[in-house]
Amino acid sequence: MNVPQGSHEELEQRSAHEGAKRRRVTRNSNKQRDQVSGSDDIASGELDQVGQGGHNSSTNNSNLMVLKTTSIHEILHHKKCIYFQKLNERNTIPKASTPTSEKFLMNSKRFLRALSKYLKDEKFNQHFLYILNKDEKIFIKLFDFLNLARLKDHEESGYVLDPLTMLDRYRLGSIEELPIEEIDEMQGKEFSNELKILTIIQTFNFQQKDIKDRVNIPKIYCSGELKIVSSKLDNHWGKYIAMELIDNVNEKPQTEAQFRSLRTQLDNLHSSGIHHGDVHERNCCVMGNNETMLFDFGRSCLVKDLKKKSKYCLRKTCEDYKNLEDMMKKTQFVKS
C-alpha cells in the first residue's frame, strides 16, 4: 500500500477536502433524486438513513430518515385508530365539505406526535420524521360517518345538543336529499377508489425516468382510521387520507402556457391508465413556472373500466379533454 507523502497537517487538509467533496456529491445526488422522484418520497418502501446534509435538512438531527426509492409504491396504511383532541374551527375547511367527506388542517409535528403515540410502527415513525423535517401542513380528507349520523338526526328533528359549527352547516346543506345509507355506501366506495387511484399514480410516477412524464399531484402521506374529539367540535370518526396541503390551491390556469401544462398533466394521467372524471378549475392549480397540478380523484376510474368509451381517452376526446376545453373557453387569458 502506498502511503501519501506530506505533513500530518497536509494530510488532514486533504482528508477534509475529500470529505467535503464527497458531501457535495451526496447533496447533489440527493437533490437530483428529489427532482426526479417527485411524489416518490411519500410512497411506502424500505427506509434509508442519511446524514444532515441530505434533503434540505433544517434541524440538527443527523439521523433523519428518508425514503429509499423502491419498485413497489404504496401509501402507508394503518388499521389502528388514531385520535386527535382539542381541534377548533380554524382546523376545518368548511367550504370543501361534500356529502361524503370533511376536510381538516393539521401541523405536521402534531400529526407525527399522534401517530407516534398510537402507532408503534417503526416504518411510520421513520416515514414521518422525514415529513417533520419539511415542517409541512397536513391536509386531511376524512370520510366521516359519525358526525354524518348526528347531522341527519338534526335534519329530521331540528334539534342538536351542541350548536352547529360552520363545517356542520356546509355539510348539512350538501346531504339534505340523500338517505344516510346511500351516503355511507358512497363513502366506502369513494375512500377505497381514491386510495387505489392515488397508489396507481404514485407507482406510475416512480416508473418514469423523465419528470416531465409524471403526474403532478399532492404528496400523499398515509391513510387509516381517525377520530377527532374536541370540546368545541363534535366527534368526527371515519377513514381518512392525509396529504400535502397546497398553499396556492386558488391559483388557477390563466395563460396559454399554463393550459398547455394542464393538458400535459391529463396526457400523463391517461398514460398511467387513469381517467380523472371531474376536470374542473376547482380540481387543479398552478404550481409555479407555469406548471400545473391535478387533485381530487374521488370520481376517477381506470381507463379500461370505461370499456367502449376508453377509445375516447386514447383519442384525447373523452370527457376529461372536453372539460379542459370548456375551462379554456371560460377563461380570460392573460399574457404570460
Q: Give this prediction's pTM.
A: 0.74
Residue 262: is its pLDDT beyond 90?
yes
Q: Examine residue 177 and state whether it is found in any structural domain, yes or no.
A: yes
Tell me what pLDDT residue 100 has.
Answer: 92
Tell me what pLDDT residue 335 has.
Answer: 73
Q: Let me know whether 96 and 119 are in one domain.
A: yes
**Residue where a domain terminates, one of 191, 224, 244:** 244
Residues 282-326: pLDDT tens digits? 999 999 889 999 999 999 999 999 988 888 998 999 999 999 999
Q: Examine residue 226 and state whether it is found in any structural domain, yes or no.
A: yes
Strand runs (DSSP E) across 108-219, as ranges? 137-144
Tell me what pLDDT residue 121 has.
Answer: 67
Tell me what pLDDT residue 299 has.
Answer: 92
Q: Let me know whether 97 and 232 are in one domain.
A: yes
Phi, psi (deg, nearest 5) at residue 148: -60, -45
Measured torsion, CA atoms of residues 255, 261, 263, 266, in degrees rounded to the nearest 10: -140
Q: Let me know whether 238 and 107 are in one domain.
A: yes
More confident residue, 186 or 38: 186
Q: Examine residue 52 and state whether it is found in any structural domain, yes or no.
A: no
Q: Examine residue 25 and state whether it is found in any structural domain, yes or no.
A: no
CATH number, domain at 326? 1.10.510.10
> Which residues are within 8 A (CB) of 274 and not within 5 positions of it... i.e. 6 or more apart?
197, 200, 201, 297, 300, 301, 302, 303
Q: Let me know whether 212 and 135 are in one domain.
A: yes
Tell me what pLDDT residue 107 has.
Answer: 84
Question: Exposed, middle or buried by CB within 10 Å (0-12, 13-18, 19+), for 16?
Answer: exposed
Confidence at 65, pLDDT banded by 50, 70, 90? very low
More confident residue, 57 or 12: 12
Q: Examine residue 214 and state whether it is found in any structural domain, yes or no.
A: yes
Q: Let me know whether 124 and 202 are in one domain.
A: yes
Q: Let me know whether 196 and 318 are in one domain.
A: no
Structure letter (DSSP) for residue 92: B
Residues 87-109: pLDDT tens digits? 778 889 998 889 999 999 988 88
Residue 6: is its pLDDT beyond 90?
no
Residue 150's identity, in one-letter code, is R
Confidence at 219, pLDDT banded by 50, 70, 90? confident
**Residue where a domain terminates, one of 244, 266, 286:** 244
Tell me what pLDDT residue 176 has.
Answer: 76
Q: Let me know whether 216 and 290 are in one domain.
A: no
Average pLDDT score, the chain? 76
Q: Let me know whether 193 and 271 are in one domain.
A: no
Residue carrying the nine cell digits 404570460: 336
**Residue where a domain terminates, one of 198, 221, 244:** 244
Q: Let me know whether 238 and 276 are in one domain.
A: no
Residue 29: is its pLDDT beyond 60?
no
Tell me what pLDDT residue 28 has.
Answer: 45
More confident residue, 149 or 189: 189
Q: Let me know whether 164 and 275 are in one domain.
A: no
More confident residue, 240 or 155: 240
Confidence at 168, pLDDT banded by 50, 70, 90? confident
Please tell me the distance from the alpha carbon of residue 298 to that of residue 198, in angstroms, as a whole number.
Answer: 10
Q: Let me know whether 163 and 236 are in one domain.
A: yes
Residues 176-185: pLDDT tens digits? 788 989 999 9
Residue 224: is its pLDDT beyond 90?
yes
Residue 158: is its pLDDT beyond 50?
yes
Q: Examine residue 128 and state whether it is found in any structural domain, yes or no.
A: yes
Q: Which range of residues forms the domain containing residue 167?
A: 76-244
Percent with pLDDT over 90 in the chain: 39
Q: Examine residue 210 and state whether it is found in any structural domain, yes or no.
A: yes
Q: Examine residue 291 and state whether it is found in any structural domain, yes or no.
A: yes
Tell me what pLDDT residue 88 has.
Answer: 78
Q: Let me know whether 82 and 230 are in one domain.
A: yes
Tell me what pLDDT residue 300 has.
Answer: 96
Residue 73: is its pLDDT beyond 60?
no
Confidence at 229, pLDDT banded by 50, 70, 90? confident
When divided into structural domains, the chain yields a total of 2
